[in-house]
Structures are given as C-alpha cells and as structure tokens.
Amino acid sequence: MDGHIEELPGEGDKETIKRVRKRHKCVVCGEDADCCITYLFEYARLNPASKAYGHDDCSWCSDAEEYACFKHEMEVRRCPPEGTTWCSSFPGDRFPNRLLHWETVK
C-alpha cells in the first residue's frame, strides 16, 4: 500500500446554501428599521483607525451603524456607541440598500 487514502468520509458531499436579503431591525423596539444611522470615531479625520481618516467629505464614511424605526430615530441618533459621534442618517425611502443585510439559510 502506498499510504494514499482513496476517499475520505464526507468527501464529495454537496451542500446548498441560500442567502436572503432581510431588513435590519430597530435596536430599540425590534420592529423593521426605517433608517440607518452611522457613527464615526471621535476626531475621525485625524484618527487612523477611522474610515474617515484624512477625508474631506466623510458623510458616507461609517465606523459603526445602528438601525431604527422612525419613532426611535432621534433616540438612537443621540445615543452613539462609546467613543463615536453621529455622522449621517440614511432614510430607507431614499437609500433602501442601507436597511438590508444578507441572511444565510441552509
């Protein structure tokens, strides 16, 4: 015997994975989100860890994102994750792609 294993258990198995786009949920109430709220690290333009580092227009940059329904938008906007400040809000009626994410389903 030359030490070569002809076929390993499970070798050649197939698996189908489907991805479905779903809407993010509001971080406060869990309902469908209507707005994507973005945040940047403090002193983002001077902070090498920030995606806005060295940029003049950083309104499209994001170091963190939260999602909210219209009812809770201002509450979420006013409570940024620690070490960040509010950058932009993207309403779903104008930027629907910002409210969607891919979920994997087997």
What is the pTM assigned to this prediction?
0.80
Backbone angles phi, psi at 73, to 5 degrees: -55, -50
Q: Where are the domains of the chain?
A: 26-105
34-77 tens-digit pLDDT: 999 999 999 999 999 999 999 888 889 999 999 999 999 999 99
pLDDT of residue 65: 96
* Residue 100 pLDDT class (50, 70, 90 cuts): very high
Q: How far, in Å, CA of 15 to CA of 25, rounded? A: 29
Instruction: Compute CA distances 11 → 5, 7, 14, 16, 18, whole Å.
Output: 11, 6, 9, 15, 21
